[in-house]
């Protein structure tokens, strides 16, 4: 409830003073993270109607009991054939006139139907909502840290399972199984690649079998009470080549230098430049990562703030972001190291506790 009141106050002062209602439309998990953040409800279908002191959760019979257990919002039972009719009727009953909504999450069809039903002004509040969510309190940080501990232990246990001839898909299944066995949920779609597949930054696991001398990329995370971590580590089966060793050391230095310079108030593009320059000044410059250095994490694996060449809004204290430079040589191999850090007033504080050394199997 406190977050709901804070959101109303925030949108009034930062978006439009006349906003009297905020609507969060969550259909088939379209806005589950924001729904949970504001109300505590974890179901896949709901509409939050936030007024500040009075807040409502509209959902159907699948979730009546769950909603009453998870949220202190007043339950409004949707029992008619169309959710839009229920929502529109309720908003009319409240005499809502200026409605803040998530323009990025509400589909065009639903928006059009709501406009036909209601004589109100809809005002996007996406930026304000995500700015609010980007600053974590210590309880939220603690959940991300707990997720990281589970993911790290699962990764260490999975390493003992790897041998020549095992497939990427089998490694993925083993890692995700161990995350769940340790009490977490899988944070996002696990990425596992080996050999030449590692040159694709977002490689998905295939039936390809691991061969001696090949790199293996692990991009994985666990989720605890809604909050996830995001980690990337590299391993090699057997002895790494000189080229792999050289590239790995460059990426490790890029992570270290960016982490050492980062703190609240830093311009994201400047932190990105510190990491990127390590690789650009080497003979592997053409293979330097083309994406931004990092992104926020929390209830979603990708959320504001972001760090990259085009992001210039100072990093806020309390944000949790990734630091993940890489080198990618098409057709040969790719290397990425990714840590999660808390943006503190005077530093980047590491959450990820795994060694950054290349793992030799």
Q: Are residues 123 and 161 in the same domain?
A: no
> What count of Cα atoms within 13 Å lies in the side-chain half-sphere of residue 314?
9
Nearest Cα to 148, choosing from 233, 255, 224? 224
Query: Strand 121-124 relative to strand 98-101: parallel, antiparallel, unpaired?
Result: parallel
Q: What pLDDT, on the 0 to 100 scale, is given for residue 47?
A: 98
Q: Are residues 216 and 282 in the same domain?
A: yes
Write the pLDDT tens digit of every residue in 148-173.
999 999 999 999 999 999 999 999 99
Write the pLDDT tens digit of every residue in 12-65.
998 999 999 999 999 998 999 999 999 999 999 999 999 988 999 999 999 999
* Gap between the Cα atoms of 121 and 180, Å rounded: 45
Place of tokens 């909603």: 67
Q: Are residues 296 and 238 in the same domain?
A: yes
Q: What is the mean pLDDT of the chain?
A: 96
pLDDT at 287 over 90: yes
Q: Are residues 182 and 49 in the same domain?
A: no
Lowest mean pLDDT among 13-17, 154-158, 220-224, 327-331: 13-17
Three-state DSSP string of the chain: CHHHHHHHHHHHHHCCCCCCEEEEEEECCCCHHHHHHHHCCCCCEEEEEECCCCEEEEECHHHHHHHHHHCCCEEEECCCCCHHHHHHHHHHHCCCCEEEECCCCCCHHHHHHHHHHCCCEEEECHHHHHHHHHCCCHHHHHHHHHHHHHHHHHHHHHHCCCCCCCEHHHHHHHHHHHHHHCCCEECCCCEEEEHHHHHCCCCCCCCCECCCCCEEEEEECEEECCEECCEEEEEECCCCCHHHHHHHHHHHHHHHHHHHHCCCCCCHHHHHHHHHHHHHCCCCHHHECCCCCEEECCCCCCEEEEECCCCCCCCCCCCEEEECCEEEECCCEEEECEEEEEECCCCEEECCCCCCCCEEC
Q: Are the CB atoms for 63 and 79 separated by under 8 Å?
A: no
End residue of a domain, out of 134, 159, 186: 134
Phi-psi group of 119: left, alpha or beta (phi > 0 → left; psi -120 to 50 → alpha; rest → beta) = beta
End residue of a domain, out of 117, 134, 151: 134
Write the pLDDT tens digit of every residue in 296-313.
999 999 999 999 999 999
Burial of 60 (0-12, 13-18, 19+ CB in 10 A): middle
Mean pLDDT of 73-88: 95
Q: Are residues 178 and 121 in the same domain?
A: no
The total number of structural domains that make up the chain: 2
The domain containing residue 82 runs over which residues?
A: 2-134
Q: Are residues 353 and 225 in the same domain?
A: yes
Q: What pLDDT, on the 0 to 100 scale, is given for residue 2?
A: 87
CATH number of the domain encompassing residue 10: 3.40.350.10
The sign of the torsion formed by the CA atoms of 274, 278, 279, 285 equals positive
Mean pLDDT of 117-141: 96
End residue of a domain, out of 134, 169, 192: 134
CATH number of the domain encompassing residue 290: 3.90.230.10
What is the rounded end-to-end Cα distance, in angstroms, of the chain? 50
How confident is residue 1, by pLDDT bands cut at 50, 70 and 90? low
Q: Are residues 92 and 147 in the same domain?
A: no
Q: Are residues 55 and 200 in the same domain?
A: no
Q: Are residues 236 and 269 in the same domain?
A: yes
Q: What pLDDT, on the 0 to 100 scale, is given for residue 135?
A: 96
Q: Are residues 127 and 215 in the same domain?
A: no
Other CB atoms within 10 Å distance of the CB of residue 159: 16
Contacts of 105 (CB under 8 A, 6+ apart): 25, 26, 30, 31, 34, 126
| CA angle 66–33–56, rounded 5-degree value | 50
The sheet carrying 191-194 orders its strands as: 191-194, 215-220, 231-236, 359-360
Q: Are residues 354 and 327 in the same domain?
A: yes
pLDDT at 105 over 90: yes
Q: Are residues 158 and 87 in the same domain?
A: no
pLDDT at 144 over 70: yes
């Amino acid at each position: 409830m406190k977050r709901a009141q804070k959101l109303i106050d925030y949108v009034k002062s930062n978006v439009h003073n006349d906003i009297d209602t905020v609507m969060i439309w969550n259909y088939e998990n379209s806005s589950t993270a924001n729904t949970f953040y504001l109300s505590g409800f974890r179901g896949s279908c709901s509409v939050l109607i936030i007024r500040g002191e009075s807040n409502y959760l509209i959902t159907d019979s699948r979730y009546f009991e769950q909603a009453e257990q998870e949220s202190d919002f007043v339950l409004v039972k949707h029992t008619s054939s169309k959710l839009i009719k229920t929502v529109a009727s309720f908003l009319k009953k409240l005499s809502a006139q200026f409605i803040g909504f998530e323009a990025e999450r509400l589909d065009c069809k639903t928006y059009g139907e709501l406009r036909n039903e209601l004589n109100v002004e809809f005002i996007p509040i996406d930026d304000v909502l995500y700015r609010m969510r980007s600053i974590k309190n210590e309880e939220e940080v603690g959940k991300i840290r707990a997720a990281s501990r589970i993911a790290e232990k699962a990764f260490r246990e999975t390493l003992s399972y790897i041998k020549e001839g095992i497939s990427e898909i089998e490694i993925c299944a083993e890692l995700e199984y161990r995350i769940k066995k340790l009490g977490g949920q899988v944070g996002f779609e696990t990425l596992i690649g080996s050999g030449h597949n590692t040159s694709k930054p977002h490689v998905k696991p295939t039936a390809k079998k691991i061969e001696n001398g090949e790199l293996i990329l692990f991009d994985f995370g666990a989720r605890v009470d809604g909050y996830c971590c995001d980690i990337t580590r590299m391993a090699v089966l057997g002895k790494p080549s000189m080229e792999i060793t050289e590239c790995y050391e460059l990426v490790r230095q890029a992570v270290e230098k960016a982490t050492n310079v980062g703190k609240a108030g830093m311009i994201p593009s400047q932190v990105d430049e510190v990491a990127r320059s390590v690789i650009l000044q080497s003979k592997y410059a053409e293979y330097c990562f083309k994406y931004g250095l990092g992104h926020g994490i929390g209830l979603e694996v990708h959320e504001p703030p972001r760090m990259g060449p085009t992001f210039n809004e100072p990093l806020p204290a309390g944000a949790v972001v990734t630091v993940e430079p890489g080198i990618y040589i098409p057709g040969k191999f790719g290397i990425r190291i990714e840590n999660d850090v808390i943006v503190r007033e005077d530093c980047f504080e590491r959450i990820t506790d795994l060694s950054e050394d290349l793992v030799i199997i």
